[in-house]
Amino acid sequence: MQFSDRVKNITPSQTMASSAKAAALILEGHDVVNLTVGEPDFNTPPEIIESIHQAMLDGKNRYSAGSGVKELKKSVQRKMKNDHGLDYDLNEIFIGVGAKHVLYNAFQSIINEGDEVIIPAPFWVSYPEHVKLAQGTPVLLHTKESNAFKVTVEELERVVTDKTRAIILNSPSNPTGSVYSKEEIDALASYLEDKDIWVVSDEIYEKLTYGQTHHSIAESSPAMKAKTIVINGLSKSHAMTGLRIGYACADAQVIKHMTDIVSHSTSNVPTPIQFGSVTALELGEDYLERNRQLFNKRRESGYKLIKEIPYVECVKPEGAFYFFPNFKECATRCGFDSVDAMCDAILEEVHVAVVAGSSFSAPDNIRMSYATSEEKFTEGMKRIKSFVETKL
Ligand code: PLP
């Protein structure tokens, strides 16, 4: 029997594979500290759950418009105005099944076979696969750790060709936790402004920044707004990963194409969840600020612990909920051929699950999530530190 070339070329999600390995060990009864998770470790606010329940009781259980219910699109419209000063018409807003699905549809809408999409590395694992599924060519742009893994205009210029159709920006970043400053965003914008290149701006961690403020490249100028597809969602900001709500704000033509695609695939996001998301977007800054402070506290304490591991360097993250320390020298001194091999040994010998940086095209680094309690993170670092000390 035949399988498509498309599926043969997909690399399954490495972050999900790492979580699955940890889950298997837990099932065997081992006491595993799981630092692979990419989701808040607390429940969705009760107001949102109640609002979904109420929507169901009110009979809002039918198909909705493919691009989303008007009420939620209006909430997104207000959010974009309040947070970014950007005006979007309702036909410039698309609601999808999580930011992942929205990104997938965006690439399906703008990429033809052979088109190049620039992906700054380290990158979130799904980007290259989304591009390949749209028959495009991912062009990896390796950034410098000394510049906190952020792309500069000079680096960008070197990889742009006449086949470049899009670039992905992800600030705050998964896996690096880096956040572009307004100056850095504006510098990229002034280079891209007159180019026929889409900017796919994944802003899913926008509400989790610590000191640095998030700026969308769509804010840089009306020309940039016109060529930017802003991607966002409620998974990380409102602890709603399983409820699957994401959205895009972009040119009406892109939104129409994305809507046409879902009219033949998912139809719409479950309608009651869309109504619950209206409540989420109305929760206000206090809820978001509490989460931000919680993650910031974990970031401060976790960063100190990572610095105590011998021969490990770490750029202090300014956003999201990941550390991305460099273990290259530590792994070599401990006698490992690669950081990947060291991650496997850490899991097998001291039962701490992390994600090897090779999954994000950064083989010297390790991603450690602090979307877990301070106690668990502290225990994880204690185990890794003593693991290293016994190997040196
Ligand atoms: N973009 C980035 C950078 C992510 O880290 C994730 C989730 O891990 C997503 C998008 C997808 O989020 P969602 O749950 O909304 O599909």
Residue from 44, 131, 149, 236 whose mutation best tests the ligand 1 pocket (most atoms within 8 A of CB): 236
**Alpha helices of 124-181 — where are they, by DSSP H?**
126-133, 153-159
pTM recorded for the entire structure: 0.97
Among 321, 85, 324, 330, smallest CA distance to 222 is for: 85
How many angstroms does the Cα of residue 219 sit away from the middle of ligand 1?
A: 22
Atom of ligand 1 nearest to the CA of 124: 3
Whether the ipTM is more than 0.95: the answer is yes
Task: Report phi then psi at 231, rounded to 5.
Answer: -115, 135
Pairing of strands 355-356, 366-369: antiparallel
Domains, the chain, ranges and CATH? Answer: 5-43+286-391 (3.90.1150.10), 62-282 (3.40.640.10)
Q: Which of 37-41, 92-96, 119-123 bottoms out in mean pLDDT, i.e. has the lowest? A: 37-41
Atom of ligand 1 nearest to the CA of 241: 14
**Arithmetic mean of pLDDT over the chain:** 96
Question: How far, in Å, CA of 67 to CA of 91, rounded?
Answer: 8
Question: How far, in Å, CA of 52 to CA of 59, rounded?
Answer: 11
- Ligand 1: list residues with CB < 6 Å: 38, 98-100, 124, 170, 174, 202, 204, 233, 235, 241, 246
Dihedral in degrees, nearest 10, Cα atoms 25, 27, 29, 32: 40
Question: How far, in Å, CA of 114 to CA of 132, rounded?
Answer: 9
Residue from 235, 269, 273, 322 whose mutation best tests the ligand 1 pocket (most atoms within 8 A of CB): 235
Model confidence at 220, in pLDDT bands (50, 70, 90)? very high
Give tens-digit pLDDT for 146-182. Answer: 999 999 999 999 999 999 999 999 999 999 999 999 9
What is the model's pLDDT at position 361?
Answer: 95
How many angstroms does the Cα of residue 100 sit away from the middle of ligand 1?
A: 6
Task: Report yes or no: 245 and 277 within 8 Å, Cβ to Cβ.
Answer: yes
